[in-house]
Amino acid sequence: MSQQYTVAIAGATGAVGIEMIRTLEQRKFPVKKLRLLASERSIGKKLKFHGADVVVEELTENSFKGIELALFSAGAERSRTFAPAAVSAGAVVVDNSSAFRMDDTVPLVVPEVNPQEVAKHRGIIANPNCSTIIALVPLWPLHKAAKITRLVAATYQAVSGTGAKAIDELEGQVRAWAAGQPMTKGVYPHQIAFNVLPQVGPADASGYTQEEKKLLHETRKIFGDGHIRVSATCVRVPVFRSHSEALFIETEKKLTAAEAKAILAKAPGVILKDDVNANQYPMPIEASGHGEVIVGRLREDSSCDKGLALWVAGDQLLKGAALNAVQIAEILYGIKR
Protein backbone atom coordinates (compact mmCIF):
# COMPACT_ATOMS: atom_id res chain seq x y z
CA MET A 1 0.00 0.00 0.00
CA SER A 2 1.26 3.49 -0.85
CA GLN A 3 1.90 5.95 1.93
CA GLN A 4 -1.17 7.59 3.42
CA TYR A 5 -1.48 10.93 5.19
CA THR A 6 -3.43 12.43 8.04
CA VAL A 7 -5.25 15.43 6.60
CA ALA A 8 -7.18 18.30 8.15
CA ILE A 9 -9.45 20.77 6.39
CA ALA A 10 -9.85 24.10 8.17
CA GLY A 11 -13.07 25.79 7.12
CA ALA A 12 -14.56 22.43 6.14
CA THR A 13 -18.22 23.50 6.11
CA GLY A 14 -17.78 26.41 3.67
CA ALA A 15 -18.23 26.15 -0.10
CA VAL A 16 -14.51 25.64 -0.76
CA GLY A 17 -14.13 23.27 2.19
CA ILE A 18 -16.91 21.06 0.84
CA GLU A 19 -15.19 21.02 -2.55
CA MET A 20 -11.90 20.09 -0.89
CA ILE A 21 -13.56 17.03 0.69
CA ARG A 22 -15.05 16.01 -2.67
CA THR A 23 -11.76 16.61 -4.49
CA LEU A 24 -9.75 14.49 -2.05
CA GLU A 25 -12.30 11.73 -2.55
CA GLN A 26 -12.60 11.97 -6.33
CA ARG A 27 -8.83 12.09 -6.90
CA LYS A 28 -8.31 9.23 -4.46
CA PHE A 29 -5.81 11.22 -2.42
CA PRO A 30 -4.20 8.78 0.05
CA VAL A 31 -5.95 9.91 3.22
CA LYS A 32 -5.28 7.81 6.30
CA LYS A 33 -7.51 9.97 8.49
CA LEU A 34 -9.49 13.10 7.75
CA ARG A 35 -10.28 15.74 10.36
CA LEU A 36 -12.78 18.46 9.60
CA LEU A 37 -12.38 21.78 11.41
CA ALA A 38 -14.67 24.80 11.46
CA SER A 39 -16.00 27.54 13.70
CA GLU A 40 -17.84 26.85 16.94
CA ARG A 41 -21.28 27.02 15.30
CA SER A 42 -20.48 23.98 13.12
CA ILE A 43 -19.29 21.68 15.91
CA GLY A 44 -20.94 18.28 15.66
CA LYS A 45 -22.10 18.64 12.08
CA LYS A 46 -21.48 15.49 10.03
CA LEU A 47 -20.05 15.47 6.51
CA LYS A 48 -19.51 12.43 4.29
CA PHE A 49 -16.09 11.22 3.14
CA HIS A 50 -15.97 7.95 1.18
CA GLY A 51 -19.46 7.17 2.45
CA ALA A 52 -18.62 7.55 6.13
CA ASP A 53 -19.65 10.34 8.48
CA VAL A 54 -16.89 12.65 9.70
CA VAL A 55 -17.83 14.86 12.63
CA VAL A 56 -16.80 18.51 12.43
CA GLU A 57 -14.59 19.71 15.27
CA GLU A 58 -13.83 23.24 16.41
CA LEU A 59 -10.83 24.93 14.80
CA THR A 60 -8.37 25.90 17.53
CA GLU A 61 -4.62 26.29 17.83
CA ASN A 62 -4.53 22.80 19.34
CA SER A 63 -6.34 21.10 16.44
CA PHE A 64 -3.29 19.95 14.49
CA LYS A 65 -1.51 17.36 16.61
CA GLY A 66 -0.62 14.44 14.32
CA ILE A 67 -1.74 16.29 11.17
CA GLU A 68 0.61 16.04 8.20
CA LEU A 69 -1.35 18.13 5.67
CA ALA A 70 -3.69 21.00 6.51
CA LEU A 71 -5.84 22.49 3.76
CA PHE A 72 -7.09 25.93 4.80
CA SER A 73 -10.24 27.59 3.43
CA ALA A 74 -11.20 29.49 6.55
CA GLY A 75 -10.43 33.07 5.45
CA ALA A 76 -7.37 35.28 5.81
CA GLU A 77 -7.83 36.26 9.45
CA ARG A 78 -8.21 32.66 10.60
CA SER A 79 -5.31 31.55 8.41
CA ARG A 80 -3.04 34.13 10.03
CA THR A 81 -4.15 32.87 13.45
CA PHE A 82 -4.16 29.10 12.95
CA ALA A 83 -1.80 28.28 10.06
CA PRO A 84 1.36 28.98 12.13
CA ALA A 85 -0.04 26.68 14.84
CA ALA A 86 -0.51 23.94 12.26
CA VAL A 87 3.07 24.37 11.04
CA SER A 88 4.38 24.31 14.61
CA ALA A 89 2.54 21.01 15.11
CA GLY A 90 4.35 19.53 12.11
CA ALA A 91 1.81 20.00 9.32
CA VAL A 92 2.35 21.50 5.90
CA VAL A 93 -0.34 24.09 5.20
CA VAL A 94 -1.85 24.77 1.79
CA ASP A 95 -3.73 28.02 2.32
CA ASN A 96 -6.51 29.26 0.08
CA SER A 97 -6.75 32.74 1.60
CA SER A 98 -4.91 35.96 0.75
CA ALA A 99 -3.01 35.89 4.05
CA PHE A 100 0.38 34.68 2.79
CA ARG A 101 0.25 35.07 -0.99
CA MET A 102 2.60 38.02 -1.22
CA ASP A 103 4.95 36.85 1.55
CA ASP A 104 8.36 36.42 -0.09
CA THR A 105 9.02 33.30 1.99
CA VAL A 106 5.78 31.56 0.92
CA PRO A 107 5.48 29.88 -2.50
CA LEU A 108 2.45 30.95 -4.54
CA VAL A 109 1.66 28.02 -6.80
CA VAL A 110 -0.39 27.09 -9.84
CA PRO A 111 0.69 23.48 -10.55
CA GLU A 112 0.51 23.90 -14.33
CA VAL A 113 2.77 26.96 -14.10
CA ASN A 114 5.35 26.77 -11.31
CA PRO A 115 5.22 23.36 -9.58
CA GLN A 116 8.90 23.62 -8.70
CA GLU A 117 8.06 26.29 -6.12
CA VAL A 118 6.33 23.73 -3.88
CA ALA A 119 9.70 22.34 -2.78
CA LYS A 120 10.73 25.77 -1.46
CA HIS A 121 8.06 25.91 1.23
CA ARG A 122 8.83 26.59 4.89
CA GLY A 123 5.60 25.06 6.13
CA ILE A 124 3.06 27.13 4.17
CA ILE A 125 2.17 27.10 0.47
CA ALA A 126 -0.31 29.67 -0.83
CA ASN A 127 -3.13 29.10 -3.30
CA PRO A 128 -3.57 32.11 -5.62
CA ASN A 129 -6.80 34.04 -6.04
CA CYS A 130 -9.38 32.16 -8.11
CA SER A 131 -9.42 34.71 -10.95
CA THR A 132 -5.63 34.62 -11.15
CA ILE A 133 -5.55 30.83 -11.42
CA ILE A 134 -8.22 30.75 -14.13
CA ALA A 135 -6.31 33.35 -16.16
CA LEU A 136 -2.80 31.97 -15.73
CA VAL A 137 -3.44 28.32 -16.59
CA PRO A 138 -4.00 29.23 -20.29
CA LEU A 139 -1.74 32.28 -20.32
CA TRP A 140 1.37 30.46 -19.10
CA PRO A 141 1.95 28.36 -22.24
CA LEU A 142 1.50 31.50 -24.34
CA HIS A 143 3.94 33.33 -22.07
CA LYS A 144 6.53 30.57 -22.52
CA ALA A 145 6.13 30.74 -26.29
CA ALA A 146 6.12 34.51 -26.80
CA LYS A 147 6.61 36.31 -23.42
CA ILE A 148 3.60 38.31 -22.34
CA THR A 149 4.52 41.94 -21.62
CA ARG A 150 1.03 43.30 -20.96
CA LEU A 151 -2.28 41.85 -19.79
CA VAL A 152 -5.65 43.61 -19.71
CA ALA A 153 -8.37 41.56 -18.07
CA ALA A 154 -12.09 41.88 -17.41
CA THR A 155 -13.45 39.24 -15.07
CA TYR A 156 -17.08 38.16 -14.83
CA GLN A 157 -17.32 36.56 -11.41
CA ALA A 158 -20.09 34.29 -10.14
CA VAL A 159 -21.89 35.04 -6.88
CA SER A 160 -20.62 31.81 -5.30
CA GLY A 161 -17.29 33.60 -5.04
CA THR A 162 -18.89 35.65 -2.28
CA GLY A 163 -20.34 32.64 -0.46
CA ALA A 164 -23.55 30.77 0.27
CA LYS A 165 -25.48 33.87 1.33
CA ALA A 166 -24.82 35.47 -2.06
CA ILE A 167 -26.13 32.38 -3.84
CA ASP A 168 -29.28 32.55 -1.72
CA GLU A 169 -29.64 36.27 -2.46
CA LEU A 170 -29.49 35.80 -6.23
CA GLU A 171 -31.94 32.91 -6.12
CA GLY A 172 -34.29 34.84 -3.83
CA GLN A 173 -34.26 37.88 -6.10
CA VAL A 174 -35.03 35.78 -9.18
CA ARG A 175 -37.88 34.04 -7.40
CA ALA A 176 -39.24 37.39 -6.19
CA TRP A 177 -39.07 38.83 -9.71
CA ALA A 178 -40.88 35.80 -11.15
CA ALA A 179 -43.61 36.16 -8.51
CA GLY A 180 -43.97 39.89 -9.13
CA GLN A 181 -42.72 40.70 -5.63
CA PRO A 182 -40.14 43.27 -4.48
CA MET A 183 -36.52 42.10 -4.51
CA THR A 184 -34.50 42.51 -1.33
CA LYS A 185 -30.73 42.85 -1.02
CA GLY A 186 -28.25 42.39 1.79
CA VAL A 187 -25.02 40.80 0.61
CA TYR A 188 -24.44 43.23 -2.26
CA PRO A 189 -25.06 46.99 -2.22
CA HIS A 190 -27.28 46.69 -5.30
CA GLN A 191 -29.60 44.13 -6.83
CA ILE A 192 -27.54 41.38 -8.47
CA ALA A 193 -30.31 39.60 -10.37
CA PHE A 194 -30.49 40.82 -13.99
CA ASN A 195 -27.66 43.22 -13.20
CA VAL A 196 -23.84 43.43 -13.09
CA LEU A 197 -21.78 45.12 -10.39
CA PRO A 198 -18.46 46.57 -11.64
CA GLN A 199 -16.81 46.34 -8.24
CA VAL A 200 -15.55 43.21 -6.49
CA GLY A 201 -14.14 44.14 -3.10
CA PRO A 202 -13.06 47.49 -1.67
CA ALA A 203 -11.08 49.99 -3.76
CA ASP A 204 -8.08 52.08 -2.72
CA ALA A 205 -7.08 55.64 -3.66
CA SER A 206 -6.00 54.46 -7.12
CA GLY A 207 -9.54 53.38 -7.93
CA TYR A 208 -8.51 49.73 -8.30
CA THR A 209 -10.08 47.13 -6.04
CA GLN A 210 -8.18 44.57 -4.01
CA GLU A 211 -9.43 41.86 -6.38
CA GLU A 212 -8.00 43.73 -9.35
CA LYS A 213 -4.65 44.31 -7.67
CA LYS A 214 -4.39 40.62 -6.80
CA LEU A 215 -4.28 39.80 -10.50
CA LEU A 216 -1.39 42.22 -10.97
CA HIS A 217 0.77 41.20 -8.03
CA GLU A 218 0.03 37.47 -8.13
CA THR A 219 0.69 37.21 -11.87
CA ARG A 220 4.10 38.82 -11.43
CA LYS A 221 5.03 36.52 -8.56
CA ILE A 222 3.80 33.28 -10.19
CA PHE A 223 5.38 34.06 -13.57
CA GLY A 224 8.57 35.24 -11.88
CA ASP A 225 8.45 38.45 -13.91
CA GLY A 226 8.06 41.75 -12.10
CA HIS A 227 7.77 43.74 -15.32
CA ILE A 228 4.48 42.40 -16.74
CA ARG A 229 1.98 45.24 -16.94
CA VAL A 230 -1.48 44.23 -15.75
CA SER A 231 -4.75 46.13 -15.59
CA ALA A 232 -8.00 44.47 -14.54
CA THR A 233 -11.67 45.29 -14.06
CA CYS A 234 -13.50 42.77 -11.90
CA VAL A 235 -17.26 42.48 -12.27
CA ARG A 236 -19.82 40.48 -10.27
CA VAL A 237 -22.42 38.88 -12.54
CA PRO A 238 -25.72 37.04 -11.87
CA VAL A 239 -24.23 33.57 -12.41
CA PHE A 240 -24.30 30.99 -9.64
CA ARG A 241 -21.01 29.23 -10.30
CA SER A 242 -17.83 29.59 -12.39
CA HIS A 243 -16.00 32.73 -13.44
CA SER A 244 -15.40 33.96 -16.97
CA GLU A 245 -12.68 36.34 -18.12
CA ALA A 246 -11.92 38.40 -21.20
CA LEU A 247 -8.12 38.50 -21.55
CA PHE A 248 -6.11 40.75 -23.86
CA ILE A 249 -2.38 40.11 -24.01
CA GLU A 250 0.53 41.83 -25.73
CA THR A 251 3.61 39.69 -26.36
CA GLU A 252 7.28 40.29 -27.07
CA LYS A 253 7.22 37.84 -29.98
CA LYS A 254 4.24 37.80 -32.33
CA LEU A 255 1.93 34.81 -32.08
CA THR A 256 -0.76 34.24 -34.67
CA ALA A 257 -4.15 33.03 -33.53
CA ALA A 258 -3.49 29.70 -35.24
CA GLU A 259 -0.19 29.29 -33.40
CA ALA A 260 -1.80 30.16 -30.07
CA LYS A 261 -4.60 27.65 -30.65
CA ALA A 262 -2.08 24.93 -31.44
CA ILE A 263 -0.23 25.69 -28.19
CA LEU A 264 -3.39 25.73 -26.07
CA ALA A 265 -4.75 22.54 -27.63
CA LYS A 266 -1.85 20.68 -25.97
CA ALA A 267 -1.61 22.71 -22.75
CA PRO A 268 -2.19 20.92 -19.42
CA GLY A 269 -5.34 21.93 -17.58
CA VAL A 270 -6.84 23.59 -20.68
CA ILE A 271 -9.73 22.66 -22.94
CA LEU A 272 -9.79 24.55 -26.23
CA LYS A 273 -13.35 25.19 -27.39
CA ASP A 274 -13.23 27.69 -30.22
CA ASP A 275 -15.66 27.56 -33.14
CA VAL A 276 -17.70 30.76 -33.32
CA ASN A 277 -19.51 29.66 -36.48
CA ALA A 278 -20.86 26.65 -34.59
CA ASN A 279 -21.56 28.73 -31.44
CA GLN A 280 -18.85 26.83 -29.56
CA TYR A 281 -17.02 28.83 -26.89
CA PRO A 282 -16.40 28.77 -23.13
CA MET A 283 -19.38 29.33 -20.87
CA PRO A 284 -19.60 29.18 -17.07
CA ILE A 285 -22.47 26.70 -17.20
CA GLU A 286 -20.14 24.23 -18.95
CA ALA A 287 -17.10 24.98 -16.80
CA SER A 288 -19.01 24.25 -13.58
CA GLY A 289 -17.96 20.97 -12.03
CA HIS A 290 -14.87 20.59 -14.21
CA GLY A 291 -11.22 21.04 -13.28
CA GLU A 292 -9.99 22.42 -16.57
CA VAL A 293 -10.08 26.02 -17.80
CA ILE A 294 -12.01 26.30 -21.05
CA VAL A 295 -10.54 28.68 -23.65
CA GLY A 296 -12.07 30.12 -26.81
CA ARG A 297 -12.89 33.25 -28.85
CA LEU A 298 -9.16 33.35 -29.56
CA ARG A 299 -8.20 35.99 -32.11
CA GLU A 300 -5.49 38.47 -32.92
CA ASP A 301 -6.01 41.80 -31.18
CA SER A 302 -6.84 44.43 -33.78
CA SER A 303 -5.55 47.21 -31.53
CA CYS A 304 -1.88 46.14 -31.45
CA ASP A 305 0.61 44.30 -33.66
CA LYS A 306 1.60 41.60 -31.19
CA GLY A 307 -1.61 40.99 -29.31
CA LEU A 308 -4.16 38.27 -28.74
CA ALA A 309 -7.67 38.32 -27.31
CA LEU A 310 -9.23 35.29 -25.66
CA TRP A 311 -12.19 34.34 -23.48
CA VAL A 312 -11.91 31.78 -20.66
CA ALA A 313 -14.25 30.13 -18.18
CA GLY A 314 -13.33 28.11 -15.10
CA ASP A 315 -14.91 26.75 -11.94
CA GLN A 316 -13.61 29.04 -9.23
CA LEU A 317 -14.53 26.60 -6.46
CA LEU A 318 -12.59 23.78 -8.12
CA LYS A 319 -9.60 24.88 -10.19
CA GLY A 320 -9.82 28.31 -8.63
CA ALA A 321 -9.58 26.89 -5.11
CA ALA A 322 -10.07 23.28 -3.94
CA LEU A 323 -8.58 21.41 -6.89
CA ASN A 324 -5.56 23.69 -7.12
CA ALA A 325 -4.89 23.10 -3.40
CA VAL A 326 -5.13 19.32 -3.72
CA GLN A 327 -2.90 19.37 -6.81
CA ILE A 328 -0.31 21.26 -4.75
CA ALA A 329 -0.55 18.53 -2.09
CA GLU A 330 -0.04 15.87 -4.76
CA ILE A 331 3.14 17.59 -5.90
CA LEU A 332 4.27 17.94 -2.29
CA TYR A 333 4.04 14.19 -1.72
CA GLY A 334 5.10 13.08 -5.19
CA ILE A 335 1.69 11.65 -6.14
CA LYS A 336 1.63 11.17 -9.89
CA ARG A 337 -1.44 11.88 -12.05
CB proximity list for 132: less than 8 A, separation 6 or greater: 110, 214, 215, 218, 219, 222
Q: How far, in Å, are 110, 229, 245, 255, 262 from residue 306 at the CA level?
A: 26, 15, 20, 7, 17
Q: Which residues are catalytic?
A: 130, 243
CB proximity list for 225: less than 8 A, separation 6 or greater: none
| C-alpha dihedral, 51 to 57 to 59 to 62, nearest 10° | -110
DSSP string, 265-329: HT-TTEEE--BGGGTB---HHHHTT-SSEEEEEEEE-TTSTTEEEEEEEE-TTIIIIIHHHHHHH
CB proximity list for 180: less than 8 A, separation 6 or greater: none
C-beta of residue 91 within 8 angstroms of C-beta of residue 67? yes
